[in-house]
Structure 1
Amino acid sequence: MTHVSMFDARAMNELNGTVAPRFEPVRDAVLDALRRGAETGLSLAVDLDGERVVDLWGGHQDAARTRPWARDTVTNVWSITKNVTSLAVLLLVDAGELDVHAPVARYWPEFAARGKDRVEVRHLLSHTAGLPGLDQPARLDDLYDVRATADRLAAQAPWWEPGTASGYHVLTFGHLLGELVHRVSGRSLREFVDENLSRRIGADFRIGARAEDLRRVSDVIPPAAADLSGLDPDGIAYRTFNGPAFSASSANTQAWRAAELGAANGHGNAASVADLMTPLALEGASAAGRLLKPSTVRLVLDQQAQGVDLVNGLHVRWGIGFALPDDRTLPWIPPGRVAFWGGWGGSMAVADLDRRLTIAYVMNEMGGDILGSARAATYVRAVYRASGALPPGGIR
């Protein structure tokens, strides 16, 4: 491995970490972004066949660029949290305590209300359950009471026929699946993830942030506010983004960080995200022992929906808990047995089973894209080129 410690006097940015020799072009791409001011603070980690071949961090924790991004800096990773919540559910599936093809009401009887008796666990995991937001009135503070929000969702009618289309469950994903985890395991989602994933694997990742970790939490740097004025006020997307309404700056508040939002308030860095995603790429194996059976991992590749998502407007292929490659949306994610999803603003987590490759990118300066960013695309392309594992024809 090559140790990296670089300082650019003009840009006042530092990049630290290690890279395997053939992955030095990945390091160069990150350093270029820092020097150009395209990044404020970030971390990037890559695992190939069980070896950490890239582990980089650099830049600053704050927009004023006064506090360096350290090895243990963490930040809100937005919807990368959904990947971790899905892994928690897969652990229960692996143990035989949950069946993805069973009705949700088998484990959560109240959920059968308003015609949801035939909604299956896989529908929750693939954003096809018809519950992407709360009926009005809805405030962000409502989501901080996870049990009460779960009760509201159980009593709510779906906004379309479940299983017929995907509509991204932006903030409700964690409440729905968190309640399933709670009903089956007796533990809160936060407790379950901490005990059965983070501690077991040794990943520095938590849903929410502990008081003792706040000193090393980087604020997110919000993008320009999204303009929803063009959306149909009666449409699914508008109802979702107002059920409840929220802004990126919410992630910097004490209330958000203290909450248990299994869809959006996971706190970690690239190294911890890679630690958690690598068992998918290795079909269940991890340095701490087998996490999942190969047959359980392969469930994530079972396509549940394909088409233009009713909420985020992207052409998405959803497997069970993760997105699957679709070059109409992210042409730089290669075809094959790949499971991925990213966080608002550009962060990304990719588990490539065919190439036994994991890529995790976490940053604090958010871009305006719904999924991915030009920065994420540059790093992912560089990783695939350096790995020598490009598919025939490469990636765009």
Structure 2
Amino acid sequence: MVDVQGTVTDGFEPVRDAFAENFARRGERGAAVTVYRDGRKVADLWGGTKDADAAPDDTGAAPWAPGTAQIVRSATKGVAAAVLLLLHQRGQVDLDAPVGTYWPEFKANGKERVLVRHLLSHRAGLPVLDAPLTPAEAVDGVSGPRAVAAQAPAWEPGTAHGYHAQTYSWLLGELVHRITGRTIGTWVAGEIARPLAADLWIGLPEAERDRAGRVAPVEPPAAPATPGLRVRPKQSVSAAYDDPDSLTRRAFAAITPLADENDPAYRAAELPASAGIATADGLARFYASLIGDVEGGRRLFAPATLTLARTEESVGPDRVLVVNTRFGLGYMLHGAASPLLAPGSFGHPGRGGSLAFADPESGIAFGYVTNGLQKNVTADPRAQALVRAVGKALAG
């Protein structure tokens, strides 16, 4: 049995029970989960091993520790979305302005009418690149923005939605740079992470890279990697991914071959679609700050901005993920493809299991990180068990 470490407040014992069961029954290797309620931490748990290839009870493996961070893949998208929403809140960007207003080169190939809100809601028609980038090009800060600026849309922007799995990095990253003169990782560090004392980064800084064992290695996905969504019968994301000409396959292959996510250079890259690094507490603390005051920090979203984040912008058949999905401005909303705590919840999962979200009505903010990849479900059974446990705790 794995020795689960950490604390829960009275009433949140079901979260500890579910976390322990993940190791006993659901193949967990190393992980952490943190829950805030009304800005106060009510659960903070960790266990297993940092070594994704080791058994969680391997006494020779390095144990998961307080402050162990993890690459969280697409859960990064929720942090990146907050940057544009905060810039809008400060009057620095108009969500209904054409992207080309801030980034003139972006207007090429019929993209004059792509709006800023289209980027956030996956309606820009730019989930694929005709010429995929190499891992080195993906992180050089130049090739990605140049490629999406030159790319023709796969559909008329604004008329449909499809998950921008990789291109979201260069679309949002370059737009933030054009508006602020800062990289998105620098902006997150200065305006979100540091004021909140939250351990989360888009681009791991050198000081953290030099801390031995700070970031746990993540189990690499098999190649080819499946996008991994819960699917209904006769709706196969895997089948779509197996078709080399499908939008599904091409969207997830915008970086080819697969990058080594444990490479220090990749960890240092500012890829807001996929390469953020965080602790469970860092993610939960971030989401807690979006919905209210948080102990030792401050509220980030004004009420109007919070409404924007979770107001439905895209719903129905996703041209990339095949199944029906729901998006607000940058956030996945509660639904069959990505169940969260309640209908008003908003957040983002990451391929492999990581999940972070907030639920304003209950005051809950949730962060879960793991180094063990489980394929074929965005509704990861480990994360979902924890979410159900939070619901049980709230029900008393």
TM over 0.5, shorter chain: yes
Structure 2 residue corresponding to 1:183, chosen from 178, 192, 197: 178
1:202 alignment partner, one of 197, 200, 223: 197
Q: Which residue of 1 aligns with 2:37?
A: 48
User: Which residue number corresponds to residue 321 of structure 1?
Assistant: 330
Distance 2:67 2:100 in 1: 41
Quote the offset at 1:88 in angstroms. 1.1
8 Å CA contact retained: 1:204, 1:272 = yes
Change (3 A) 1:88 1:286: farther
- Counterparts of 1:118-197 in structure 2, within 5 Å, are 118-197=113-192
AA of the residue aligned to 2:38 = D
Alpha carbons 1:277, 1:350 under 8 Å: kept:
yes
Contact 2:123 2:162 in 1 (8 A): yes
State the alpha-carbon separation in 2 of the partners of residues 45 and 340 from structure 1: 15
Match of 1:81 in 2: 76
Question: Is 1:39 the equivalent of 2:28?
Answer: yes
Tell me the residue number matched to 1:355.
Answer: 362
| Alignment-derived partner of residue 254 in structure 1 | 264
Please name the residue that 2:310 is paired with.
301
Partner letter of residue 50 of structure 2? Answer: Q
Structure 2 CA distance for partners of 1:223 and 1:142, relative to 1, 3 Å:
closer
Residue 269 and residue 372 in structure 1: after superposition, are their counterparts in 2 closer, same or farther (change >3 A)? farther
Q: State which drifts further: 134-143 or 269-278.
A: 134-143
Q: Supply the AA of the counterpart residue of 2:386.
A: Y
Aligned to 1:220: 218
Secondary structure (helix, strand or coil) at the match of 1:38 reads: coil
Give the share of equivalent positions with the same residue, in percent. Answer: 41
Q: Which residue number corresponds to residue 95 of structure 2?
A: 100
Amino acid at match of 1:166: H
Instruction: Check if 1:244 corresponds to 2:255.
Output: yes
C-alpha contact 1:201 1:286 (8 A) present in aligned 2: no
**CA deviation profile, 1:187-241 (whole Å, cap 9, x unmatched):** 1111001000100111011112233323211111135443667543332112212
Instruction: List gaps (5 residues or longer) in structure 1.
Output: 1-10, 390-396
The reply on whether 1:365 has 2:354 as its aligned counterpart is: no
Q: Residues 345 and 372 of structure 1 are in contact (CA less than 8 Å); yes or no, is this contact kept in structure 2?
A: no
Tell me the SS of whatever aligns to 1:135: coil
The whole-number CA distance in structure 1 between the counterparts of 2:239 and 2:155 is 23
* Equivalent in the alignment of 1:232: 243
Note closer, same or farther for the CA distance 1:23–1:346 as it changes in structure 2 (3 Å cut): same
1:348/1:372 contact within 8 Å kept: no
1:83-123: CA deviations, max 9, x gaps?
11011111111100011111111111111111111100111
Q: Report the TM-score when normalising by structure 2.
A: 0.89
* Shift, 1:71, TM fit: 0.5
Question: How many residues are matched?
Answer: 374
Distance 1:291 1:36 in 2: 38
Alignment of 1:341 onto 2:348:
yes
TM-score with structure 1 length normalisation?
Answer: 0.89
Q: Which amino acid aligns with 2:256?
A: A
Letter in structure 1 aligned against 2:317: V
Distance 1:366 1:376 in 2: 12
SS of structure 2 residue aligned to 1:255: helix
Distance in structure 2 (CA, Å) of the matches to 1:27 and 1:309: 35
2:33 counterpart of 1:26: no
Does the 8 Å CA contact 2:218/2:262 hold for their aligned counterparts? Answer: yes
Shift of 1:354: 1.5
SS for the counterpart of 1:306 is strand
Alpha-carbon separation, structure 2, partners of 1:234 and 1:48: 45
Q: Is the aligned partner of 1:111 residue 2:106?
A: yes
Q: CA deviation at 1:148?
A: 2.6
- The corresponding residue for 2:235 is none
Matched, 1:289 2:298: yes
Distance of aligned partners of 1:213 and 1:14 in 2 relative to their CA distance in 1, 3 Å threshold? farther
Please state whether the residue corresponding to 2:310 is helix, strand or coil.
Answer: coil
Q: Residues 126-172 of structure 1, C-alpha deviation per residue, up to 9 Å, x if partnerless? A: 11111113221532222112233112211111111111222111111
Distance in 2 of aligned mates of 1:224 and 1:183:
36
Q: Deviations over 1:3-37 (max 9, x none)?
A: xxxxxxxx3x3221110110011101111222347
SS in 2 for 1:359: strand
1 CA distance for matches of 2:23 and 2:244? 40
Report the secondary structure of 1:360's partner residue: strand
Distance 2:132 2:311 in 1: 36
- Answering whether residue 384 of structure 2 is matched by residue 377 of structure 1, we say yes
State the SS of the aligned residue for 1:251. Answer: coil
Distance 1:278 1:212, change over 3 A: same
